[in-house]
Amino acid sequence: MSERAWRDEEFVRYTLWFVYACVIYSLIGFSWGALMGGIHEFRHFVDERMFGKLIVRAHTHINLLGWVEMAIFAAVYYIVPRLAGRGIYSVKLVKWHFWIHNIGLLGMVVFFTTAGYLGGTVSVEQGPAEAEAVVRPWLRLVGVFGSLVLLANCIWAYNIFKTCAGWLDRLRQSS
């Protein structure tokens, strides 16, 4: 494979943006975890208040969908074109993947956190039904933004599949 086949400047830039996003999300996630563990009031809120665990879910999603997935995406975008012996199928899809995934993830985190905070706060003075009523619309938004993450992951899978398509035939022809 020629160096030029995968060295599209936009493709390289977006692959590196996945790396940068990975680093940023890891720092946010690690710091968030340290704060939850180190600040008694915060730990008590997420452990003991009704819906406080939703804040833990926000933290988990920052780590999994932000840190871990972004690192995997960057690595796969780097490796697969080299293994397939050609450039990525669509740089445009890489861009769409990046932006849709980040918007979806950030929405999920904001709305998980909002639901957890509001549900935990309301539950102090009101009952479970009232707290549930406060949380429900925020969790619907989590679902909407989670669907964006799923869409972004499907875009990624399609792009990688199309990049790899025909590799076995090319391998047979070259031997």
Task: Find out whether 112 and 53 touch, Cβ atoms under 8 Å.
Answer: no
Q: Is residue 61 part of a domain?
A: yes
Rounded CA-CA distance 60/109 in Å is 9
Q: What is the domain count for the chain?
A: 1
Asked if residue 174 belongs to a domain, the reply is no
- Tens of pLDDT, residue by residue over 69-86, are 999 999 999 999 998 888
Q: Is there a domain that residue 169 lies in?
A: no
48 belongs to a structural domain: yes
Cα–Cα distance, 97 to 23 (Å, whole number):
18
With H, G, I as helix, E, B as strand and everything else as coil, classify residue 86: coil
Range of the domain at 61: 3-164
Output the CA torsion sign for 105, 106, 107, 109. positive
- DSSP H or E stretch at residue 60: helix 53-61
Say what the pTM is. Answer: 0.89
pLDDT, residue 2, reads 46
